A and B are shown apart, each in its own frame.
Chain A
Amino acid sequence: MMRAVAAILRRDLALSFRAGGGAGIGVIFFLCVVMVVPFAIGPDQKLLTSIGPAILWIGALLASLLGLDRIFGADAEDGSLDLLLLAPLPLEVIAFTKALAHWLATGLPLVIATPLLGLLLGVEFNALCAAALMLLVGTPAIAFLGSIGAALTATLPRAGLLIAVLIVPFTIPVLIFGTAATAVAITEASFFGTAFKLLLALALFSFVIGPVAAAAALRIGRGA
């Protein structure tokens, strides 16, 4: 089973990083969001410093939502999803692996880009570390919750905006506790408060409900 999981992981990562995969677009979009905020609210450095972590969270959330349709959409188009459904591997494991690969290709780059983009907003060093750490926990939660929306709309063409609409309500707890944990980490210099634990709990919860619901959605989507 581990070999099959590793094979899916390798395949999905290769597909997203090579030509036409679009793994880097999320980071560019993240940069765009962070860039337009100072234009919209004015280059007030003090204000930007204080709301910087929140902007980073919003940018990362929007960037994570954008690419979600790629988790299953491309596979449904070229028929490889049918092969995955026929595979002896439990569909939940496949859904988990594909969501993980999606996060590695699109979510992790966002986390890595966070400190750099934070510098543009004048966020201080410890706040940068806090935001990056919280996003390291929060973006997988968004990716795994998002895999539900991706699976529900796998057979639909142009599902991108629909997935975002479906998934945003479910990511609100992640955003609430993620930003709360970031704020606590900045003001009290303690990383492991209640909000962070709740964020971790949400991430673990999404690792379970995401693959289970996504697998159910894929099964019914293919009339199985």
Chain B
Amino acid sequence: MPRTPRMKVSELANPNRFMRMAKWMIPLFAALAAVLLAIGFYFGFNAPAERDQGITARIMFVHVPTAWLALGVYTMMAIAALGTLVWRHPLADVAQKAAAPIGAAFALVCLVTGSVWGRPTWGTYWEWDGRLTSMLVLFLIYLGIIALWRAFEEPLQAAKAVAILTLVGFINIPIVKFSVDWWSTLHQPASVFRLDGPTMHASYLNPLLICALGFSFLFAAMLTAAMRNELLRRRVRTLTIFAANEAR
């Protein structure tokens, strides 16, 4: 069914406010990310060498925040999917679409850094351990979501299809989180988010948390910028359709 042009314009009504806010949000988040990551990396890379792992343990200041964010971004995408299907929020699918490649990148960085760390520590780049495998599955689900976005021509139709896929894929998130408890084969269990408190020394925990906050702001900055790009892309698409209709 062809969409009437009037509906296209009303779709852009609310996102205008977002575009105005994005102007100051992107530099603010980017600056916060740069400062926090600078502090976190400085203290992280000056942390005393770990007893068993030596300096290779420092890779966790990248590995752990990206792993958390890979899970967190997917959770955000699942909430955005609900926003698309249930509340019909006009920005929800924009956020969902913009977040998917960033989340995939976090998952990939997590896998690569873990692999680089695993070689000297575990003696292998890759092992089919529960945590590693479920993280790889999460990466594949991210790629599937991106592929489904690109398969549709009409953004609104794609949004709803992707939302359903995102919600179904959410099953994997608790599996990743609890994989270290269910199949404790290789990957160490959680050492920060525990009922009895973190089991990590403050010289590692503090830079780790600062880095996690820094990466979160990095995500916020990238997400806002990607959402703005997506909105501009849709605006261009709508204007092109208008121009084509008028020329007819």
Contacts and interface: CB of A to CB of B under 8 A. Distances in A.
Interface of A: 148, 152-153, 155-156, 159, 162, 165-166, 168-170, 172, 209, 213, 216-217, 220-221, 223
A221 B143 contact: no
Contact of B164 (A155, A162, A217): A217
A172 B144 contact: no
Contacts of A155: 157
Q: Give the size range of B's interface with the partner.
A: 20 to 34
15 contacts: A148-B165, A152-B161, A155-B157, A156-B151, A156-B152, A162-B151, A165-B143, A165-B147, A166-B147, A169-B141, A170-B169, A170-B171, A217-B164, A221-B160, A221-B161
B164 A165 contact: no
Interface string B100-136: 0000000000000000000000000000000001000
A213 B169 CA distance: 11
Chain A, interface SS category: helix
Contact of A169 (B1, B157, B164, B172): B172
Interface string B141-179: 101100110011000010011001101110110000000
B140 interface: yes
Given A152-B148, A162-B148, A162-B151, A223 B1 contact: yes
B137 interface: yes
Given A162-B148, A169-B140, A223-B157, 5 more contacts: A148-B164, A165-B147, A216-B85, A217-B164, A220-B160
Contacts, number: 54
A170 B144 CA distance: 11
Given A169-B140, A217-B164, A220-B161, A153 B1 contact: no
Nearest to A219: B160
B151 A220 contact: no
Contacts of B141: 169
Contact of B168 (A153, A156, A162, A209): A209
Interface in B24-48: none
A162 B171 CA distance: 20
A169 B160 contact: no
B169 to A, nearest CB: 7
A156 B152 CA distance: 7
A223 B144 CA distance: 23
B161 A217 contact: yes
A209 B164 CA distance: 11
B144 A169 contact: yes
B11 to A, nearest CB: 15
A209 B167 CA distance: 11
Contacts of A217: 161, 164
A156 B171 CA distance: 26
B144 A152 contact: no
A219 to B, nearest CB: 9
